[in-house]
Every structure is written in C-alpha cells, then in structure tokens.
Amino acid sequence: GHLRALAIRVPHLATILALNYVALQAFDVRVPPLQALYCLPAVLLVACLPISIQGLGPTQGAMIFFFARYAEGDAATQAASVFAASLGTHAICLCAQLAIGLIGARSQLVRTLGKAPVG
C-alpha cells in the first residue's frame, strides 16, 4: 500500500513544485530548473514541520536561503522578491485547498442529509 500511496501523491507534489517554480520566475527570481528541483523538496519538508503556524515563517526563510541569490538587486530586494513569491504561492495553495474542502464538505453533507430519517 505504501507504493500506491506514494504514486497517488506524486502528481500533487509535482504540482506544488511547479507552482513554486513558476511563482519564483514571476517575481524575477531566475532559479535554474535543476537547482529548484534539488532545493524545493527541502523547502516543502520544512513547510510540513510542526514548528510554524500554517507553514509560514520557516518556509519563507528556507526559500530565501536557497533562492535569494538568483534574484536581482541588493540583498534586501532579493529577499523581498523570494518572500513575495513564497507568500503568493502559499495564498494560492490555501485558496485551492479551501475550494477542494468546500466541495468535499458539500458532497458529504448532501450524502448525510439524503440518509437522514424524516420525522
């Protein structure tokens, strides 16, 4: 069952990696694709650790640590670009998860109400 569970997660993780890469590119952080492929899994691991609130804080720090050097400008501008890309990605992911959750909750509620006894 572990390999099946891993296979099911691969498209989800690939989507998250691609979204982060595109967000970095959108904020003019020109990370080489292989560098992103090596470092983004470490960033995602940091995001899952129970040391942050909703994945905020250490995740942005890891993103700045790995990717700030690929942005243009001085150190503060580089960090701000990576920080903005990371927060933008985080907001998009939260909205997508909210939409999926609402759809799932609605369909579960409809199934539960359909089985409720009338009385």
In terms of Cβ atoms closer than 10 Å to its own Cβ (0-12, 13-18, 19+), residue 25 is: middle
Mean pLDDT across the stretch 33-45? 94
What is the reported pTM? 0.80
3-state DSSP assignment of residue 13: helix
49-87: per-residue pLDDT in tens?
Answer: 888 787 789 999 999 999 999 999 999 999 999 999 999
pLDDT at 98: 92
3-state DSSP assignment of residue 48: helix
Buried b (16+ CB within 10 A) or exposed e, 97-113: eeeeeeeeeeeeeeeee
Instruction: Confirm if 111 and 67 have CB atoms less than 8 A apart.
Output: no
pLDDT at 99: 92
pLDDT at 6: 86
